[in-house]
């Protein structure tokens, strides 16, 4: 069965410092991996995705994520955090080898990122 | 272009009443999804439509929940005989193809009193 784990409920970072939001996944085949961000009282916004190719994926707002097959991880990173990055971040996975019509993503429970000035 | 829209943005209803939530996906997107987000929780998959195929209803929590997608575009999620535990934000998303990134609407906040 597909699953996604975000082991940290909250991550606190000082502005200007690098940030990492962790995500691990479990699928039976090859994964499609996604990161989404949810600002307060807003819907989810797509940040970036990994399908194939380079393990380092660059996305919106200066974020990037590294796909690590051996560790089944897809951690979200940013070299220098901004206060405006404070939001709820969701990792999601789809098993590319899943047959049938199912196309929905499995989401992690989310990690709250708090960036302090 | 226009994103995913949902209506109403907020809905307060009495326990036992039926409610209908509407989703307008991005034009041309073949896949449409409904999720539920409860306070402090992640996203719970409810139902998925792809083209003219039979929907994947595996996430619907009870038979009080149903959804339709007319003409491959607009979708309506119906909750019958609402209960207090149905209170949540209901999110709709669409994607160009199955497995592509999903684009989310702003959600409908449902409160059952």
pLDDT digits (tens), chain B, 113 positions:
589 999 999 999 999 999 999 999 999 999 999 999 987 677 888 999 988 888 888 889 999 999 999 887 999 999 999 999 999 999 999 999 887 889 999 999 999 99
Smallest CA–CA separation between B40 and chain A, in Å?
Answer: 9
For A57, B24, B73, the CA distances from B70, given in Å and listed in that order, are: 37, 11, 6
pLDDT value of position A101:
44
pLDDT in tens, A22-73: 999 998 888 889 999 999 877 899 999 998 888 999 999 999 999 999 999 9
> What are the backbone angles phi and psi of residue A63, rounded to the nearest 5°?
-80, 155
Q: Which of B42, B54, B59 sits opposite A90 (nearest CB)?
A: B42
User: What does the pLDDT read at residue B99?
Assistant: 76
By DSSP bridging, strand B103-104 and strand B88-95 are antiparallel
Question: What is the model's pLDDT at position A100?
Answer: 46
Q: Give pLDDT, residue A33.
A: 93
User: A44: distance to nearest CA of chain B, Å?
Assistant: 6
């Amino acid at each position: 069965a597909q699953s996604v784990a975000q082991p940290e409920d909250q991550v606190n970072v000082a502005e200007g410092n690098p940030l990492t939001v962790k995500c691990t996944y479990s699928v039976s085949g090859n994964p499609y991996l996604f990161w989404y961000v949810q600002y307060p009282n807003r819907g989810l916004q797509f940040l970036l995705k990994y399908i194939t190719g380079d393990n380092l994926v660059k996305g919106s707002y200066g974020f990037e994520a590294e796909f690590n097959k051996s560790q089944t991880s897809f951690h979200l990173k940013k070299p220098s955090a901004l206060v405006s990055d404070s939001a709820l971040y969701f990792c999601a996975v789809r098993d590319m080898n899943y047959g049938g019509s199912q196309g929905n993503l499995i989401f992690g429970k989310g990690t709250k990122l708090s960036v302090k000035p | 272009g226009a994103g995913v829209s949902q209506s109403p943005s907020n809905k307060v209803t009495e326990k036992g009443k039926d409610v209908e939530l509407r989703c307008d996906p991005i034009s041309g997107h073949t896949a449409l999804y409904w999720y539920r987000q409860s306070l402090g929780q992640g996203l719970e998959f409810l139902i998925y439509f792809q083209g003219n195929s039979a929907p994947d209803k595996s996430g619907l929590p009870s038979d009080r929940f149903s959804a339709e997608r007319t003409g491959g575009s607009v979708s309506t999620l119906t909750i019958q005989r609402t209960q207090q535990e149905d209170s949540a934000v209901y999110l709709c998303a669409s994607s160009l193809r199955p497995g592509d990134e999903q684009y989310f609407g702003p959600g409908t906040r449902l409160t059952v009193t």
